[in-house]
Amino acid sequence: MKVLFLTNLASRYRVDFFNELGKLCELTVWYEYRDASMETEKRDDKWFGLEAENFTQSYGVSFGEYKNFDIVIICGFSTKMQILSILYLSALKIPFYIEADGGVIRDTGLLKRTLKKLLLKNPAGCFTPNGATDDFLRYCGYSGEVFYRYPFTSLKSADILHAPVADSEKTQLKQRLSMKEEKTVLFVGSLIHRKGVDILIRAAAKFDSSAGVYIVGGQPTEELSELCRQLKLSNIHFIDFKEKEVLADYFKASDVFVLPTRTDIWGLVVGEAMSFALPVVTTDMCVAGVELIENGVNGFIFPVDDTAALSDSVNRILRDRDLQESMAAANLRKISAYTIENMAAAHITAFEKIMEEKKRGG
């Protein structure tokens, strides 16, 4: 079975997935960009990592080679290469599939809506992680009924803790990381407006007095620094980007994870926090949060920009040890199904179904 993926970048979690999938089929991956500098939304180069071990990779598109694959999957429909590939495959009537890792419905204007409807007119099916993504693709113009489900994740099974971190280990990690406060609230991500770091800072003014807020992802903008000065906050700590191994210690040392995003078409970091048995507080505009977090069970969902709801949710967790422990255990149970191994297996199951349908159709 020869499978082709066209995607934008060789990000770490994507390469992990492709290496796992490549154990199960003859996989080729075409990347549109060589590095993060070509993306609209810039990422630290350290965000990228692994090499191809079980698949063939190249950069750019070889249009004439599309016909050499049994299954063609295009990861999105918004970049230049994605658009050109969809138009080319549609014109030659070569079957292809769209893979979407989430999506937020919003009005993008008549011209973009019309283009999306054109691009989503001919896919043979779509690979999606949840029903909300199905709805997003329908909104964008996909009129088909063929959806293949997979658990979207950046986690290998070995990344998920077997049990919550013991208090003694948390204490040692906090000392090693120079976390002076008794309790720790963690944010991990880019310090851009969309991620809502300013919302977290405003809410922190009402956090439990024993809590420190650790914002991992880079140096603060002048706007964020000024906000901390205005609110006279001494419990906000900005930490530079950290490699995966070091970042794990920050997760293990923390007591609650917050992603106050204004919009995220998924939000992989939510699953990562869950894998470290952290209660998660995020917004109703984080697709992963809405999919994975149940209010009061393994975290809380709050409305975007509602700092009062955010501070109340965090304080409820920090002040209730029993709730914190039950949420930790619930997250480990929930996230155990969201592994790269399961993600690859779900794709293979779908591929086998597609190939069987091809045989019957032929």
Render pLDDT for 293-334 as a digit per residue (tens, 0 to 9).
999 999 999 999 999 999 999 999 999 999 999 999 999 999
CA distance 132 to 225: 36
Q: Please check whether residue 47 is in contact with residue 8, taking contact to mean a CB–CB distance below 8 angstroms.
A: no
What pLDDT does 109 receive? 82
Q: What is the pLDDT of residues 28-44, one digit of tens each?
A: 999 998 765 544 444 44
- Amino acid 228: pLDDT: 97
In order of their start, the domains of the chain are 2-155+339-361 (3.40.50.2000), 161-335 (3.40.50.2000)
Q: Which residues of the chain have pLDDT under 70?
A: 35-50, 362
Under DSSP, the state recorded for 37 is G
Amino acid at 41: E
Residues 6 or more apart in contact with residue 251 via CB below 8 angstroms:
186, 188, 257, 272, 273, 276, 278
Whole-number pLDDT of residue 362: 52
Cα 93 from Cα 134, distance rounded (Å) = 23
Q: How far apart are CA 257 and CA 277, in angstroms?
A: 10
Sheet holding 97-99, edge to edge: 56-59, 26-31, 2-7, 71-74, 97-99, 125-128, 147-149
State residue 34's pLDDT score: 73
198 contacts 179 by C-beta, under 8 angstroms: no
pTM assigned to the model: 0.91
> How far, in Å, CA of 100 to CA of 107, rounded?
18
